A and B are shown apart, each in its own frame.
Chain A
Amino acid sequence: MSGAATEAGRTLAMGQDEAVGGGRQSVEAPFGKALARLGQNRPDIVGLTADLGKYTDILPFRDAFPDRFFNVGMAEQNLVAVAAGLARTGKVPFATTYGVFATRRAYDFVAIALAHSNLNVKIVAGLPGLTTGYGGTHQAIEDLALMRMIPGLTIIDPCDATEIEAATEAIAERHGPVYMRLLRGNVPVVFEAGYRFEIGKARQLRKGSDVGIISTGFMTERALDAADALRKQGISAGLLHVPTIKPFDAEAVAAFAAGVSHIVTAENHVVVGGLASLVVETLFDADIAKKVTRIGLPDRYIECGAVPTLQAKYGLTSEAVVAAIIALG
């Protein structure tokens, strides 16, 4: 894949890799490979895309099971409707497109055609948050907020290649509609083999007494690096990784928050309606009064540019997490 993503100042061409971090080993197309493996023993799994198969890593499944793969063209409402119909015949459709289209464009279909009937469809959505330099048309910066309003929808924001593979297996196993964010291309490996993903469960990755970071998606990788860097500076930062946005592990979040003096949330998403809002709601419900600092995107559309430039500008880096925590004093 192209190295453009690591060179600030270069604009990404369509389809180039938006690798989410440097310095780690990576796996190419972890989602598509996991789905193709699953397909061998699961004849009920079918794949769909809306003219973005190449860009959502689902081609390994298509190549293995061409009779169980359908490209509906640029028609995201129909993508979801067709998936719903397939589910009604007992299939387990995995439908891919970009997050912006799965949410803004096909919302009524996700809500009514899928969730209202609790159909067993998995929507896997590329370009979450700030993983493309294509600007507001392609950056799904508010998808978690939109989707968490849909009753019964499971929502997952995985951190790395290991978690994507594990989550793909887990959502295939669990009946019901799912929206999963997809990191595509060469995806870093943050968690070691054997990492256990469980739908609806948060995982404490670091213990700390000064500050508690609660993160989701690729921001967990940044937060891990930040926690390690802070430790060298004598700051003890705990870290709770929350890959499932819905159902939200409020119990784990409340327990984690109770043990630290200050909470920092970190998400690849606007700071309204997503993880930060969930954490604040959870603390309120649990009667926990703690200061919360929110790291994430502002409530505005983001411009075009190279991904590293944009991520640095909008604070989605480990350096930004370190700086925010040091600034707490």
Chain B
Amino acid sequence: MLRNSPPGSADIGALERKAIQLRHHMLTMARGQGQGYIGQGLGIADVLAALYFHELRYDPHNLAWADRDRFLLSTGHYSIALWAALAEAGIIPVEELATYGADNSRLEMSTLDTTPGVEVIGGSLGHGLGQGVGQALGLRIDKSEARVFVELSDGEMQEGSTWEAAMSASHFKLDGLVALVDCNGIQADGPVVLDMEPVADKWRAFGWQTSEIDGNDMKAVVGALADARERNGKPKAIVLRTLPGKGVPRIETSEKSHFFRIDVAQWDGIIAEFEKTAGAAQ
């Protein structure tokens, strides 16, 4: 049974290597169908590595454990990153990753909660945080110490239900609730179409203990997660500035694309390049 590791105990280098492993899985998955939400997945890889291999308490062999920490991926289309993390965590088989987005695969391009390890149906944006509030209330009734982590995105903040949930979380003093706000600057129609800045100020104004970090800096991510452990009556928001395509220069520098589709030969080139640089990094 994995427990959240004591603060300060994180092996940053090991977590960085885990993030590289997740990115490698994602590239392989996207190659299978020639497409996917790879930019978002690569951007959030460091956060998922920190969560699944340092911060979260869970048992891959007992997913229904009542006192597990919950991770809710509200942006269901980031599933490519979640599948990679769940595979590395031993919750789904690594071999299954090859089925990403294929007919009859459990590893949909947008999450359904019928896949093991998925705590919520993401994808209809604006749903995750409110369900996180409900889970945190339920855990409080049960006097459980378990916490609830909800990933959501900058574009998703445009859904009014996000703020309905944000209001209620601070009202109910849900200090075991952590919002991971992925600000990658892209949404379906391109670069963020409606200015959401100042993001951190908005969360603070709604009563959340808020930090703002480079979401691709493992040390900063681990540090912000450690700070969020405090049980002080306030829900926690971590504003993550992430780079879509992080770690893969050809995707980083491409037009900021919500959905990435290229032919197989190009994928092979990208993967070969990634393996070369990742190998050097390790």
Residues of A participating in the B interface, judged by any CB pair closer than 8 Å: 46, 67-68, 70, 72-73, 75, 77-78, 80-91, 93, 108-109, 112-113, 116-117
Contact = CB atoms under 8 A, between A and B. Distances in A.
A109 B165 CA distance: 13
Contact of A85 (B130, B161, B171): B130
A81 to B, nearest CB: 3
Contacts of A86: 134-135, 137-138
Interface in B134-152: 134-139, 141-142
B132 to A, nearest CB: 6
A44 B38 CA distance: 41
B167 A83 contact: no
Given A75-B164, A77-B164, A78-B165, A87 B134 contact: yes
Contact of A89 (B126, B139, B160, B168): B139
- Looking at chain B's contact residues, the main secondary structure is helix
A77 B126 contact: yes
A88 B164 contact: no
Given A81-B127, A89-B142, A116 B161 contact: no
Contacts of B134: 81-89, 93
Contacts of B121: 112-113, 116-117
A80 B127 CA distance: 10
A147 B171 CA distance: 31
B161 A89 contact: no
A93 B131 CA distance: 13
Contact of B137 (A80, A82, A108, A112): A82
A88 B135 contact: yes
Closest 4 CB pairs of A and B: A85-B134, A81-B130, A89-B138, A78-B164
Residue in A77, A81, A109, A117 whose Cβ sees the most chain B Cβ within 10 Å: A81
- Looking at chain A's contact residues, the main secondary structure is helix
B113 to A, nearest CB: 6
B180 interface: no
Nearest to B113: A117
Given A75-B161, A84-B130, 13 more contacts: A67-B141, A73-B171, A77-B130, A77-B161, A82-B137, A85-B133, A88-B120, A88-B131, A88-B135, A88-B138, A89-B66, A112-B124, A113-B121
Contacts of A116: 121
8 contacts: A75-B168, A78-B167, A81-B127, A82-B131, A82-B134, A82-B137, A85-B133, A85-B135
B259 interface: no
B154 interface: no
Given A72-B168, A117-B121, A81 B135 contact: no
B172 to A, nearest CB: 7
A75 B161 CA distance: 8
Given A72-B168, A75-B164, A88-B119, A108 B133 contact: no
A49 B197 CA distance: 32
Residue in A70, A89, A93 whose Cβ sees the most chain B Cβ within 10 Å: A89
Given A67-B141, A82-B137, A85-B138, A75 B131 contact: no
A175 to B, nearest CB: 16
A78 B130 contact: yes
Given A70-B137, A91-B141, A113-B121, A85 B131 contact: yes
Contacts of B129: 81
A112 B127 CA distance: 9
A247 B139 CA distance: 33
Nearest to B126: A77
B155 to A, nearest CB: 17
Contacts of A72: 164, 168
A89 B167 CA distance: 21
A87 B66 CA distance: 13
Contacts of B171: 73
A70 B132 CA distance: 15
A81 B137 contact: no
A46 B172 CA distance: 15
Residue in A78, A80, A93 whose Cβ sees the most chain B Cβ within 10 Å: A78
